[in-house]
Amino acid sequence: MKEKISMEFSVNTSPKILYPRIKTPGGLSEWFADNVNARENVFTFIWKDSVQKAKLISSKEAKFVRFKWEEDEKFTEDYYFEFKIEIQEISGDTTLIITDFVEPDDKEDAINLWKSQVEKLKQLLGL
Protein backbone atom coordinates (compact mmCIF):
# COMPACT_ATOMS: atom_id res chain seq x y z
CA MET A 1 0.00 0.00 0.00
CA LYS A 2 1.34 3.40 -0.95
CA GLU A 3 1.92 6.19 1.55
CA LYS A 4 0.77 9.77 1.08
CA ILE A 5 3.44 12.47 1.23
CA SER A 6 2.89 16.20 1.11
CA MET A 7 5.57 18.90 0.80
CA GLU A 8 5.30 22.68 0.87
CA PHE A 9 7.66 24.97 -1.02
CA SER A 10 7.77 28.75 -0.94
CA VAL A 11 7.72 30.03 -4.53
CA ASN A 12 7.22 33.75 -4.31
CA THR A 13 5.72 34.35 -7.71
CA SER A 14 2.26 35.06 -9.01
CA PRO A 15 -0.13 32.08 -9.33
CA LYS A 16 -0.78 33.27 -12.90
CA ILE A 17 2.93 32.76 -13.68
CA LEU A 18 3.22 29.49 -11.75
CA TYR A 19 0.05 27.77 -13.00
CA PRO A 20 1.16 27.22 -16.62
CA ARG A 21 4.36 25.62 -15.26
CA ILE A 22 2.32 22.94 -13.48
CA LYS A 23 -0.49 22.49 -16.02
CA THR A 24 0.85 22.72 -19.58
CA PRO A 25 3.15 20.27 -21.38
CA GLY A 26 5.53 23.13 -22.21
CA GLY A 27 5.61 24.34 -18.62
CA LEU A 28 6.10 20.87 -17.15
CA SER A 29 8.91 20.07 -19.59
CA GLU A 30 10.81 23.11 -18.31
CA TRP A 31 11.33 21.58 -14.86
CA PHE A 32 9.46 18.34 -14.18
CA ALA A 33 10.44 16.08 -17.09
CA ASP A 34 12.77 16.20 -20.08
CA ASN A 35 9.77 16.35 -22.40
CA VAL A 36 6.00 16.29 -21.93
CA ASN A 37 3.31 15.65 -24.52
CA ALA A 38 -0.44 15.71 -24.04
CA ARG A 39 -3.36 14.36 -25.99
CA GLU A 40 -6.68 15.38 -24.51
CA ASN A 41 -6.25 14.63 -20.78
CA VAL A 42 -3.41 12.09 -21.06
CA PHE A 43 0.07 13.47 -20.45
CA THR A 44 3.19 11.56 -21.48
CA PHE A 45 6.20 12.38 -19.31
CA ILE A 46 9.56 11.56 -20.85
CA TRP A 47 12.80 11.33 -18.89
CA LYS A 48 16.18 10.09 -20.02
CA ASP A 49 15.55 6.54 -18.79
CA SER A 50 11.78 6.22 -18.72
CA VAL A 51 8.40 7.20 -20.09
CA GLN A 52 5.27 7.40 -17.94
CA LYS A 53 1.71 8.40 -18.70
CA ALA A 54 -0.67 10.18 -16.37
CA LYS A 55 -4.25 11.28 -16.74
CA LEU A 56 -5.22 14.81 -15.78
CA ILE A 57 -8.10 14.06 -13.42
CA SER A 58 -8.84 17.50 -12.01
CA SER A 59 -7.70 21.12 -12.18
CA LYS A 60 -8.75 24.64 -11.32
CA GLU A 61 -7.21 27.70 -12.96
CA ALA A 62 -4.37 29.17 -10.83
CA LYS A 63 -5.25 26.81 -7.93
CA PHE A 64 -4.31 23.16 -8.52
CA VAL A 65 -3.65 20.33 -10.96
CA ARG A 66 -4.15 16.64 -10.10
CA PHE A 67 -2.82 13.72 -12.14
CA LYS A 68 -3.11 9.94 -11.80
CA TRP A 69 -0.29 7.77 -13.10
CA GLU A 70 -1.48 5.17 -15.61
CA GLU A 71 0.19 2.44 -13.53
CA ASP A 72 -1.98 3.43 -10.52
CA GLU A 73 -5.24 2.93 -12.46
CA LYS A 74 -5.30 -0.71 -11.31
CA PHE A 75 -5.53 0.27 -7.62
CA THR A 76 -8.85 0.91 -5.94
CA GLU A 77 -7.19 3.47 -3.66
CA ASP A 78 -7.28 7.07 -4.79
CA TYR A 79 -3.59 7.47 -5.67
CA TYR A 80 -2.61 10.69 -7.44
CA PHE A 81 -0.03 13.45 -7.54
CA GLU A 82 -1.06 17.03 -7.20
CA PHE A 83 0.39 20.51 -7.52
CA LYS A 84 -1.56 23.02 -5.44
CA ILE A 85 -0.97 26.77 -5.30
CA GLU A 86 -1.85 28.59 -2.09
CA ILE A 87 -1.46 32.21 -1.04
CA GLN A 88 -0.49 32.60 2.62
CA GLU A 89 -3.00 34.91 4.32
CA ILE A 90 -0.64 36.88 6.54
CA SER A 91 2.47 37.16 4.36
CA GLY A 92 0.85 36.99 0.92
CA ASP A 93 3.58 34.55 -0.15
CA THR A 94 2.83 31.90 -2.77
CA THR A 95 3.28 28.29 -1.68
CA LEU A 96 3.41 25.23 -3.95
CA ILE A 97 2.11 22.14 -2.18
CA ILE A 98 2.99 18.82 -3.79
CA THR A 99 1.09 15.69 -2.79
CA ASP A 100 2.16 12.26 -4.00
CA PHE A 101 1.67 8.61 -3.09
CA VAL A 102 4.80 6.46 -2.88
CA GLU A 103 5.90 3.03 -1.78
CA PRO A 104 7.17 3.23 1.83
CA ASP A 105 10.65 2.05 0.78
CA ASP A 106 10.83 4.86 -1.81
CA LYS A 107 9.66 7.69 0.46
CA GLU A 108 13.05 9.33 1.11
CA ASP A 109 14.10 9.11 -2.55
CA ALA A 110 10.75 10.55 -3.67
CA ILE A 111 11.02 13.50 -1.28
CA ASN A 112 14.57 14.23 -2.44
CA LEU A 113 13.50 14.01 -6.09
CA TRP A 114 10.61 16.44 -5.54
CA LYS A 115 12.96 18.86 -3.74
CA SER A 116 15.37 18.68 -6.66
CA GLN A 117 12.61 19.23 -9.21
CA VAL A 118 11.22 22.23 -7.33
CA GLU A 119 14.72 23.74 -7.17
CA LYS A 120 14.77 23.55 -10.98
CA LEU A 121 11.37 25.26 -11.05
CA LYS A 122 12.59 28.02 -8.73
CA GLN A 123 15.67 28.63 -10.91
CA LEU A 124 13.43 28.82 -13.96
CA LEU A 125 11.28 31.42 -12.20
CA GLY A 126 14.36 33.40 -11.13
CA LEU A 127 13.86 32.70 -7.42
Residue 63 φ then ψ, to 5°: -125, -55
Gap between the Cα atoms of 121 and 107, Å rounded:
21
Architecture of domain 3-124: 2-Layer Sandwich (3.30)
User: 106: how many CB neighbours lie within 10 A of its CB?
Assistant: 13
Nearest to 7 by CA among 95, 87, 93: 95
Q: Indicate the pTM of the whole model.
A: 0.92
Model pLDDT for residues 57-111, shown as the tens digit of each residue: 999 999 999 999 998 887 777 899 999 999 998 888 999 999 999 999 999 999 9
Model pLDDT for residues 7-37, shown as the tens digit of each residue: 999 998 999 999 999 999 999 999 999 999 9
Q: For the chain, what are the domain ranges?
A: 3-124
How many Cα neighbours within 13 Å face the side chain of 105? 0
